[in-house]
């Protein structure tokens, strides 16, 4: 198959080893080619426009801004472009947020190479892609009459801060991880505690464990 007829994929992930691994997987397919790559959110937004891609593989945890923020900007500029989110997090943590923000699908980085290729082909064809496990999880909640959980009221950055604090990271470590100032992360922490009616990080961690937000 010629490159002109192939599915063009743009890869955005801050880990070089992940990008190389993805490129190696896709190199073994005849109908998919890598049209470009980026190591942070700003570069992703600048370079995907030039790539002529059909699908963006987007890491949800980018160093300069969250993947969901990048996703929303991409969909604002090119609503028809398929964005497949990649994450180290369990599907039930970020999948729904990603799909609501416009993602065409969601995969964990532990997914088999064959599943990645299947997902790319599916979203390139205009369909959505979720794993069988996530589909079952969503089906289990269909028809349930429940109030919105407190963590679902958080912004994407606040939610990300919640999961990192609950995982045992300090504010300073989170600031370094997200390329933000300690003051900014502290503000996120303060806001999410107010929204969730919690007093401190210990209560926040208990909430996250109780609601299955961290492993």
What CATH code is carried by the domain that includes residue 167?
1.10.10.10
- Residue 176 in any domain: the answer is yes
Give the whole-angstrom CA distance, residue 199 versus residue 78.
41
My answer on whether 127 and 191 are in the same domain is no
Which domain-ending residue is among 140, 173, 199? 140
Query: Using the 8-state DSSP alphabet, how is residue 151 labeled?
Result: G
- Residue 1 in any domain: the answer is no
Please report the DSSP string for 86-117 in residue order: EESS-HHHHHHHHHHTT-SEEEETTS-HHHHH
Which domain-ending residue is among 121, 140, 159? 140
Domain that holds residue 162: 150-211
pLDDT along the chain (215 residues), means of 10: 79 94 93 95 92 94 85 94 87 76 90 92 94 72 58 84 91 88 91 88 88 76
pTM score: 0.71
My answer on whether 107 and 19 are in the same domain is yes
How many domains does the chain contain in total? 2
My answer on whether 30 and 69 are in the same domain is yes
């Amino acid at each position: 198959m010629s490159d002109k007829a192939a599915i063009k994929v743009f890869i955005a992930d801050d880990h070089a080893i992940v990008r190389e691994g993805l490129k190696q997987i896709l190199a073994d397919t005849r109908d998919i080619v890598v049209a470009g790559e980026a190591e942070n959110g700003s570069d992703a937004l600048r370079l995907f426009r030039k790539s002529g891609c059909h699908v963006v593989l987007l890491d949800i945890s980018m160093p300069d801004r969250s993947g969901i923020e990048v996703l929303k900007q991409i969909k604002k500029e090119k609503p028809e472009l398929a964005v497949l989110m990649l994450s180290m997090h369990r599907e039930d943590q970020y999948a729904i947020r990603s799909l609501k923000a416009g993602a065409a699908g969601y995969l964990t980085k532990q997914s088999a190479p064959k599943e990645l290729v299947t997902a790319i082909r599916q979203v390139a064809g205009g369909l959505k892609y979720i794993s069988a496990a996530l589909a079952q999880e969503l089906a289990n909640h269909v028809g349930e009459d429940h109030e919105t959980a407190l963590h679902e009221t958080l912004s994407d950055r606040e939610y990300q801060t919640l999961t990192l604090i609950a995982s045992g990271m300090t504010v300073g470590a989170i600031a370094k991880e997200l390329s933000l100032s300690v003051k900014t992360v502290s503000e996120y922490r303060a806001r999410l505690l107010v929204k969730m009616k919690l007093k401190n990080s210990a209560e926040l961690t208990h909430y996250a464990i109780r609601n299955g937000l961290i492993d």
